[in-house]
Structure 1
């Protein structure tokens, strides 16, 4: 007997390029949403990634992997998605990122999809501002019943090409039980030999937009005021070697850990006294920060944050209350903000306390999961 005939709610098909074990903020966002859906209510279609077999066995829902590391809106991907939709009796489809896979929506409508929800992030906001991609995003938005946005910046950009009646805010959630003060930072400090030195930590993929290179350029000025400070860069990415070369003259004042397991991330945040990611907009607005879940995770861990002013990043900070917003292109601005927080530890701790309270009240996962469930079932 089919789910529809038995009275059960049909499962939702999630089609996404962004899914663990591939690391990243969008991946964590999408995974956080689906893991909070009721058992038997979701099927995920995502690309392969190293370690996905073991990861998928631990999930309480089926994950079907595309053979390669990237899915494009091509006929074979459309056929596979339509086949999964029919096989599992799905009537709702969620695209983990609207662009570009949202172009598959008409094919899935033909296969029986009754409701289509598209999540957007920073890159869709960028598409909205580029002449060559703007009409593509408009077409994607026309296929959707709901298009989500992260904050005021992304909404303003999307509203230029997507029917405003379809736009609904849906932000990532934060696991405030995992990300909290005392999450294991003492052990990380011991393992790295940091002792009681002041630590500025950045947890993020090592790419130019995130601003780790600006942190390294700012660090000599920080050291002139706080000589024993350490910059701890957590993550991997294409600019790791370049960062290591730039940091070499600074000796052990800069540490680059490389990638760490997801389960260990809270302990690395907790090893810091200040969190900093001075993100910046690049490539004429194409490469922009959508929100910056790392700022919220850092706040939940009780750290003051220094955020770049790129895109929607300021939406994740209460300036002067939970942290500071700086020009991410300016090493001097970044250094001044870091010096302010490192030399005023009482004020920094106060910002961390305020950040923890704000994230717990406004950004915790239960409310986000409830909002997502409502989007799947009916128009907001």
Structure 2
């Protein structure tokens, strides 16, 4: 069996999308095929003790491709007989690849997650990504959008292969009951539009607020549920107050990962009108929230940023709209609230699509193939 050394800064108990992605990939591999080298974080000892594979923590909150990190990685690869290495985020730790190859690791894979599209847009960081790619057999991408940005910059330095995050279709399901969440936030039986995401400008919660009065004009009892925390929370609360929307817009603040399915289920429609900012440097790589909402049987309304349209079958599982237009966003939401039968059909189509294309069963099989030496010749 191929044994894989995983070198990563992004690993629980530290929270975040990349951490969740990496942990979910490893959860679906045979435990005796893995060893992890990671940075340290509070609670790591308790977390690691419950895992079925060994984790070695460096005494730092941030692993860098230093000589000390390289020595630790080479020692682990030798100790456990690793013939494959995975970098949980290719930049910058992928710079260690030549050292590992020289030590006998035959197959090296690096993952990208979306922000690297900004890296290749800037001369200095583009050269760094080119160096990293040159040392790897495979570099993964999460969406066709990110591939289209990476490929011209990286050329023929490595093979590019898609490896997207997956959805736990047993957790995110139409059978989840959102009644308790509705009671907690005083939503009653009202029509609810829900957005689950970090509160940052790119995600477009401000556009939802800006267009919400237009939704209320045709659905006066509707509620907007904004789930999550982040730096934009204060400005969003001010906007809600300034527009007199306190009775119809609820900001929950941060919500635990275990409660997310119930918050999706509390909504009738999911919306996140994400938009690209900062000249393309701040962009949505894919948008797993659209797929999680679809897995819960909810129609989705997405913005056009980056890979987000790839997480929606426009007109089938939901709508892709202009995220710069509060009116366009509001009209899409009102249309779904108007036509419950169409909304239900879109939710059912979304669930079926996620099961077929985006479940962890499918993603895990893709991952297993990418770890096999020689897959770069496929």
TM-score, normalization by structure 2: 0.92
Q: Secondary structure at the match of 2:251?
A: strand
Distance (Å, rounded) in 2 between the aligned partners of 1:70 and 1:194 = 42
Which of 307, 312, 321 in structure 2 is aligned with 1:326?
321
Aligned match of 1:135: 127
Q: Which residue of 2 aligns with 1:340?
A: 335
Change (3 A) 1:223 1:45: farther
Distance in 1 separating the partners of 2:356 and 2:186: 35
Three-state SS of the structure 2 residue aligned to 1:233 is strand
- Rounded Cα–Cα distance in structure 2 between residues aligned with 1:262 and 1:208: 22
Q: Which runs of 5+ in 2 are unaligned?
A: none
Aligned to 2:364: 369
> Out of 285, 290, 294, which is 2:285 matched to?
290
- Say whether 1:184 aligns with 2:187: no
**Counterparts in 2 of 1:1-380, with a 5 A limit?**
9-163=1-155, 166-248=159-241, 249-378=244-373, 379=375, 380=378
Equivalents in 2 of 1:84, 1:252: separation in Å? 57
CA distance in 1, matches of 2:198, 2:143: 22
Tell me if the contact between 2:36 and 2:56 (Cα under 8 Å) persists in the aligned partners. Answer: yes
**CA distances 1:154-206 after superposition (whole Å, capped 9, x unpaired):** 12112112345611112211111110012131221122221111111111222
CA RMSD of aligned residues (A): 1.9
Structure 2: distance between partners of 1:26 and 1:324: 26
- Any idea what SS the aligned residue of 1:258 has? coil
| CA deviation map 1:199-252 (0-9, x unaligned) | 111112222212222222222222222222211122222222222222234213
**Residue by residue, what CA displacement relative to the aligned partner does 1:271-309 show, whole Å, maximum 9, x if unpaired?**
111111111111111111111111111100000111111
**Aligned mates of 1:263, 1:22 — CA distance in 2:** 15
Equivalent residues of 1:222, 1:339 under 8 A apart: yes
Rate the CA distance shift 1:104–1:344 in 2: closer, same or farther, 3 A. same
**Stretches of 4+ moved more than 4 A in 1?**
none
**Distance in 2 between the 1:108 and 1:83 partners?**
10
Partner residue in 2 for 1:4: none
Which deviates the most, 328-337 or 30-39? 328-337
| Equivalences, count | 372
In structure 1, the residue corresponding to 2:90 is in which secondary structure? coil
Gaps of 5+ in 1: 1-8
Deviates more, 1:312-321 or 1:65-74: 65-74
Kept in 2: contact 1:10–1:89 (CA 8 A) = no
Conserved 8 A contact 1:35-1:60: no
**Are the aligned partners of 1:121 and 1:290 in contact in 2 as well (CA < 8 Å)?**
yes
Instruction: State the distance in 1 between where 2:294 and 2:166 align.
Output: 13
- Aligned CA distance change for structure 1 residues 327 and 16 (closer, same or farther; 3 Å): farther
Q: TM-score, normalised by structure 1?
A: 0.91
Q: How far is the alpha carbon of 1:10 from its aligned partner?
A: 4.9
Q: 1:86 to 1:267 in 2, by over 3 A?
A: same
CA distance in 2, matches of 1:264, 1:61: 27
